[in-house]
Amino acid sequence: MRKEKKKRLRRIVERARRRHEQRVETVSGKLTVTPGGFGFVELPSSGDGKKPDDVFIPPQFIGEAMDGDDVRVALLPPRGDYPADRRGPAGKIVEVISRGREEFVGELLAGNRVRPLDRHMPEDVEISGSRCGAKRGDWVRVKLLRNEGGVWRGAIRKAMGRAGVIAADLDAVMAEYDLAPRYSESDNEEALKIVPREIGREDCTGALTITIDPVDAKDFDDAVSISPGTKRGTVIIGVHISDVAAYIAPKSKFDKQAEKRGFSCYLPGRTLPMLPAALTAQISLRAGQVSNAHTVFLTVEKKSGRVLSFRRVHSRILVDHRLNYEEVQEFIDTGRAPADWSEALRASLKELVEVTRRMREWRRAAEEFIDLALPEVRVLCNEDENRILGLSSKIARESENLVEECMLAANSAVGAELGEKGIAGLYRVHPAPDPEKISEFSEMVEDSFGITPGDLADRKACNAFLKSLPDDPRRPVILSLLLRSLPRAYYLEKPALHFGLGKGRYSHFTSPIRRYPDLIVHQQLWNFDTKVRTRSVSTLARVAENCSALEENNDAAYFAANDRLKLRFLQEKLEAGGENLYEAVIAKVVSGGLQVDISELGLYGFVPREQLGGDLRRTEHGLAARRGHSGYKPGDYIYIRLARIDFARGSAVFVPAGR
């Protein structure tokens, strides 16, 4: 009898809830939860193609929903206490339509708790049942069971190795982000048996051709050449790309594998190639051997750097020299070159440097591309020896820009040809900034750094703002915040604006060994050139959506692995003693303390409030003491030292240098 009453009561409550929700506007979409605890629900595009504003979800209204869930949201009336109201509507999640995930990977902590690797997940999950042999400090795979009064519960399905061992850390990242494993030896052997398809080729083996890559590069999918143009004052730059489509036909076994992977994934110390490594080694454009290539010849006006025309051919090339970025940069800076460089090589490279400089200048004036160069701090490690070698900070130099300029021009040419000939293709697009998000960024920069950005939705104004930034540690902080305010670039089956480049029809063509969108374009062009039916626009729409999601997932996996190994590197430095002083910039002041940006490490750290009794900060007159917590503001410099690493929370904790 008691059970029947409870059932009736639940039915009454459910009917009341439904009647209430019928009076409230509801929408459905996919939830993204931020590390800060609040969320956004992305709504599908409307029939006219316009994308509606995301719905802001305050932390108290997320309920039992998690990152990646498809949810139904009841829109809330506008209120001033929801800080995201300025960005659009706010809402409350009223139903989880479907779960985005059933399992996750995390570290087993004391008290039968697991801390998820993905910081978008709940902070802790209580474990019930067997540990499956796992010990505290191990990575484990967990199946989510239920939410009881705001506490998530789960069951361990598998122990995955010790956290802190590089191989186990990378295995955990691969499992969490569902990355495909390396190809097997049998896959490599099978790939080497592929006989390339035949097509008419232009013999370009007589042109002096070079590759320019990192010193430790293993795959070489692009080469360049330069020769006199047919008209006075012009040159012809040849951009030669490995003709991967000759080996990977649409719907073949390795085409399906490449589509599933989307991209080669480069984790610190571990590379997961899109195609079997043995095949990519075979089809790479190696010095001293004749290779099949897919070439775009660009006719460039030497004086202005303007690309006047282009033509595309399947070719046969001979790479004369394998160069690396370091020696090319040395040649650019000093004119010095290795003894084995011929006079012809020196002359060709010198002309290539001069012409690509002018090409970049022409693009800057005509297209007003956004020059948003940020240093990337990457962990260098040896997985086999379980050893972190150090950190590498890299920002593009002119030797890299030289190659990039040639690739950009070839990609633009192919994008134009796809449109001119009506060939269905994939395009790289980058939407213009969201006015409200960029407005919030502008207000923050003005309040925190005293800099007025101007209209950042205008490329000319945006570049003027970037030029005005101080050349000190505040610059990367501001650039990082700006990047977060801009939308991600993605792939689309039709041409659209690439805001960052200032282009309206831009395709990816130059990296078919490591990017599936490029391989798709190569295959489409191959079929067009051989009068074979190409993939339809509707098929490419599905491929574009899938590749965009895979790229975002790969990026998330890389950052998770890179940040985790950075923390381990810092822990090793802390244990070894020695120099431990860092200059940081305060990025955010919160009730618990300071979030600081340490550009030297490419890492955010945290200074707890209780440690702010006194510290050292930099002023125009050198170092000065500051006391208290309320006196700090974003943009201030602060000298800090590492206190400890909180691996469970995935953060580095610092204290002021004066303490």
What is the per-residue DSSP string for 288-313? TSEEEEEEEEEEEETTT--EEEEEEE
Other C-beta atoms closer than 10 Å to the C-beta of 201 total 17
Residue 412 included in any domain: no
- Please tell me the predicted confidence (pLDDT) of residue 18: 55
In this model, does residue 378 exceed pLDDT 70?
A: yes
Burial of 289 (0-12, 13-18, 19+ CB in 10 A): exposed
Residue where a domain stops, chosen among 511, 538, 563: 563
Q: Which residue has the higher pLDDT, 446 or 261?
A: 261
Structural domain contains residue 502: yes
Q: Are residues 329 and 237 in the same domain?
A: yes
pLDDT digit string, tens, across residues 583-598: 999 988 887 889 899 9
Whether residue 19 has pLDDT greater than 60: no
Quote the percentage of the chain above a pLDDT of 90. Answer: 62
**Residue 253, pLDDT score:** 97
d(CA 20, CA 350): 73
Q: Are 419 and 495 in contact (CB under 8 A)?
A: yes
Answer whether residue 182 is part of any domain. no
How many whole angstroms separate alpha carbon 25 and alpha carbon 72? 10
pLDDT band at 659 (very low <50, low <70, confident <90, very high): low
CATH number at residue 114: 2.40.50
What average pLDDT does this structure show over 450-460?
88
DSSP string spanning 346-381? HHHHHHHHHHHHHHHHHHHHHH--------EEEEEE
Tokens of 232: 């006075």
DSSP summary character for residue 645: E
The amino acid sitting at 46 is S
Q: What is the mean pLDDT of residues 360-378?
A: 91
- Measured from the Cβ of residue 536, the count of other Cβ atoms closer than 10 Å reads 11
**Residues 166 and 132 placed together within one structural domain of the fold:** yes
Q: Are residues 90 and 112 in the same domain?
A: no
- Quick one: 476 and 597 in the same domain? no
Residue type, 352: L
Is 479 in contact with 471 (CB distance < 8 Å)? no
pLDDT, tens only, 528-570: 999 999 999 999 999 999 999 999 999 999 999 999 999 999 9
| Domain identity same for 71 and 147 | no
Structural domain boundaries enclosing 90: 22-98
pLDDT digits (tens, 9 = 90+) for 479-525: 888 988 899 999 999 999 999 999 999 999 999 999 999 999 999 99
pLDDT at 416: 97
308 or 84: whose pLDDT is higher?
Answer: 308
The distance of Cα 60 from the centroid of its chain, to the nearest Å, equals 30
State the Cα–Cα distance between residues 649 and 431, nearest whole angstrom: 34
Q: Give the pair of three-digit tokens for residue 659.
A: 């303490």
Whether 13 shows a pLDDT value over 60: the answer reads no
pLDDT of residue 84: 44
Distances (CA, A) of 192 to 247, 274, 280, 290, 323: 10, 15, 9, 17, 27
Q: According to the model, what pLDDT value does residue 8 have?
A: 65
DSSP three-state, residue 414 = helix
Is there a single domain that holds both residue 492 and residue 593? no
Separation of alpha carbons 534 and 620, rounded Å = 64
Distance CA(515)–CA(264), nearest Å, equals 7
Backbone angles phi, psi at 206, to 5 degrees: -85, -15
Q: Report the percent of the chain where pLDDT is more than 70.
A: 90
Cβ neighbours around 226 below 10 Å, total: 25
- Residue 13's CB is within 10 A of a number of other CB atoms, namely 10
Query: Do 481 and 492 fall into the same domain?
Result: no
Question: Which pLDDT belongs to residue 621?
Answer: 36
Task: Point out the domain boundary residue: 64, 81, 98.
Answer: 98
Angle between helices 537-576 and 166-176 (to 10 degrees): 150
Report CA 375 to chain centroid distance, whole Å: 14
Residue 159 lies in a domain: yes
Q: Which of 438, 431, 433 is nearest to 481 (CA)?
A: 438
Question: Which tokens in the block code for residue 49?
Answer: 């193609």
Domain membership of residue 14 (yes or no) is: no
- pLDDT exceeds 50 at position 182: yes
Residues 291 and 366 in one domain: yes
Same domain, 131 and 227: no
Q: For 416-454, what is each residue's pLDDT tens digit?
A: 999 999 999 999 999 999 888 888 889 888 888 888 888
| pLDDT 10s digits, 610-628 | 888 654 454 443 333 344 4
Identity of residue 340 = D
Provide the domain count of the chain.
Answer: 5
pLDDT at 625: 39
| Residue 439 within a domain | yes
Cα of first residue to Cα of last residue in the chain, in angstroms, is 67
State how far the Cα of 268 lies from the Cα of 454, in Å rounded to an integer.
38
* The pLDDT value given to residue 6: 59
Helix 516-529 and helix 398-421: axis angle, to 10°? 40
129-169: per-residue pLDDT in tens?
Answer: 999 999 999 999 999 988 887 788 999 999 999 998 999 99
Query: Which residue pairs from 129-135 have beta carbons closer than 8 angstroms and sit at least 24 positions apart in sequence?
Result: 129/155, 129/156, 130/155, 130/156, 131/156, 131/159, 132/156, 132/157, 132/158, 132/159, 133/159, 134/108, 134/159, 135/108, 135/159
User: Alpha helix locations (H) across 450-587?
Assistant: 459-468, 474-485, 516-529, 537-576
Q: What pLDDT, on a 0 to 100 scale, did the predictor assign at position 523?
A: 98
Q: Identify the CA nearest to 428 among candidates 376, 502, 485.
A: 502
In terms of DSSP H, where are the helices of 203-323?
253-261, 277-283
Question: Between these two residues, 20 and 265, which has the higher pLDDT value?
Answer: 265
Q: Is residue 312 within 8 Å of 413, Cβ to Cβ? A: yes
Q: Which of 98, 120, 141 is a domain's end point?
A: 98
| 28: nearest Cα among 55, 66, 61 | 55
pLDDT, tens only, 51-91: 677 889 988 888 888 888 999 999 888 765 555 444 568 89
Instruction: Say if residue 451 is in the same domain as residue 499.
Output: no
Q: What is the pLDDT of residues 226-247, one digit of tens each?
A: 999 999 999 999 999 999 999 9
Supply the pLDDT for residue 398.
95
Look at residues 469, 483, 343, 323 and name the one whose alpha carbon lies nearest to residue 400: 323
Whether residues 271 and 218 fall in one domain: yes
Residues 304 and 322 in one domain: yes
Place of tokens 């039968």: 112
Q: Is residue 403, in this structure, part of any structural domain at all?
A: no
- Is pLDDT of 172 > 60? yes
Cβ–Cβ under 8 Å, residues 504 and 494: no
Which 3-state string (H, E, C) describes 566-606? HHHHHHHHHHHCCCCEEEEEEEEEECCEEEEEECCCCEEEE
pLDDT of 3 reads: 59
